[in-house]
Amino acid sequence: MKEVLRVAIYARVSTEEQATEGYSITAQLRTLRQYASLYEYEIVNEYVDEGLSGKNIQGRPAMQRLIADAEKELFDIVLVWKISRLSRNMLDTLILLDKFEDLNIKFISYSENFDTSTPIGRLVVQLMASIAEMERNTLSENVKLGMKQRALEGSWNGGIVYGYDSNDKELIVNEEEANVVRLIFKLYAEGKGLKAVTNYLNKAGYRTKRGKHFSINGIATILDNPLYRGKIRWLQVENWDKKRRKGKNPNYILTDGNHEAIISEELWNIVQNRRKSRSFKQRQSHEPFLLSSILRCPSCGQGMVPSITTSTRKNGTKVKHRYYVCSNFHNKGSSACKANSIKAFDAEDTVIKRIEGFINNHDGFI
């Protein structure tokens, strides 16, 4: 009796590829199912990553499941439409093929029609992987050039931004949100700090585009965004397409946008002058906070963050007091949560004593 080979089908497409190549997930799966049926393979599972880049195998849930199932020996063959579906990174492709070979799993590419079990087939795979990586790099460069040109022409390159709605990458003022943006700039220009503005908005019931409380960082981002005065800023961060960014780009693009400004140039200048006149670098405390990544707020469950207050004694000397406070309260104000502050020394002393008790008591915590 002929042995029935078990096959795993893997399909992937990114948004750009589906638009340019016109080979959707549905079309890939239909073709591969027909191929498996022709050779009487048993399809044990289909792994689909839709709208995800082939730049690397990390961040692709279906690919990670396929690798895990391969190690469990759940199938004998991996079937793809093209080798570029597996990965557009040559190193990732070769690592995957080595893993398949070690697990005695055959790899089949429907379009290229090669056999990885032979030296010639493996050479062809390496050449095809190199070509796939070159295509990805070329596509990436073309996309970046296109987006740079759009920015130079004053067009928005997409994304969610408070105060505007995006219609086919064109910004349209959202009047309800725009009024909040104007309020943020007005309050700050009148002398309120970031935390005071944040607390005011949250207490008044205003929320972000995603329906969440405003945060200090969110307010700072709005105040520093030239988009609201009618400008387009692009490539402010170098290597924006990579996960590990190198830092600020001093030669970023700043040009007149095609969209309607929300605030005046005069108000923008007042706010920016005030921003520059203050030190907005985070105060770096040399005080030890042993539990800053461990303690949780008893009300909302968020992490507790360090807080230092200073009091003045009768003789004029200043004394610092260390506390842990709820990060939601610290960043978003009292409408998000309570401070739930606890003296740092008391919390740390309690934890240290419990640890010492655990070490000295074989029966567990005392």
The maximal CA–CA distance of the chain, rounded, in angstroms, is: 97
Q: How far is CA 274 from the centre of its chain?
A: 31
Q: Which domains does the chain have, with CATH numbers?
A: 6-140 (3.40.50.1390), 153-277 (3.90.1750.20), 283-366 (no CATH)
What integer pLDDT is reported at residue 66 of this predicted model? 93
For 136, 179, 223, 227, 262, the CA distances from 206, given in Å and listed in that order, are: 43, 11, 17, 21, 18
* Count of H-run helices and E-run strands, the chain: 12, 13
**Alpha helices by DSSP H, the chain:** 15-21, 25-38, 61-71, 83-86, 90-102, 119-152, 175-189, 194-203, 216-223, 265-277, 327-332, 344-360
Residues 316 and 306: their CA atoms lie apart, in Å, by 25
Dist CA 150 CA 157 (whole Å): 7
- Active-site residue, 84 included: no
Please tell me the distance from the alpha carbon of residue 276 to that of residue 159, in angstroms, as a whole number. 28
For residue 77, the Cα-to-chain-centroid distance in whole angstroms is 33
Q: Which of helix, strand or coil describes residue 30? A: helix
Cα torsion 100, 66, 84, 93: sign = negative
Give the per-residue SS3 of 330-355: HHHCCCCCCCCCEEHHHHHHHHHHHH
Write out the chain's pLDDT in tens, 366 residues: 568 899 999 998 875 555 445 468 888 899 999 999 999 999 999 999 887 654 566 778 999 999 999 999 999 999 998 877 777 676 777 788 888 888 999 888 888 776 666 676 667 666 766 666 676 667 667 767 777 787 777 788 778 899 999 877 788 999 999 999 999 999 999 988 898 999 999 999 999 998 999 999 899 999 999 999 988 887 776 555 554 455 566 777 788 888 899 999 999 999 999 888 764 444 445 567 878 778 999 999 888 888 888 888 878 788 888 888 998 888 888 888 888 989 888 888 888 888 877 777 755 444
CA distance 169 to 158: 5
> Which two tokens mark 325?
């406070």
Residue 47, pLDDT score: 94
State how far the alpha carbon of 25 is from the alpha carbons of 59, 82, 157, 172, 345, in Å. 18, 12, 26, 33, 58
Cα 161 from Cα 164, distance rounded (Å): 6
Dihedral (Cα; 14, 20, 26, 30), 10-degree rounding: -120
pLDDT (0 to 100) of residue 235:
72
C-alpha span between 87 and 82 (Å, rounded):
9
DSSP assigned state of 296: B
Q: Phi and psi (nearest 5°) for 288? A: -75, 135
Given the residues 14, 109, 307, 335, select the one marked as catalytic. 14
Task: State the angle between helix axes of 265-277 and 175-189 in degrees (0 to 180), rounded to the nearest 10.
Answer: 50
pLDDT at residue number 176: 94
Q: In this predicted structure, what is the pLDDT of residue 23?
A: 67
Beta pairing partners, 253: 234
Backbone angles phi, psi at 115, to 5 degrees: -115, 115
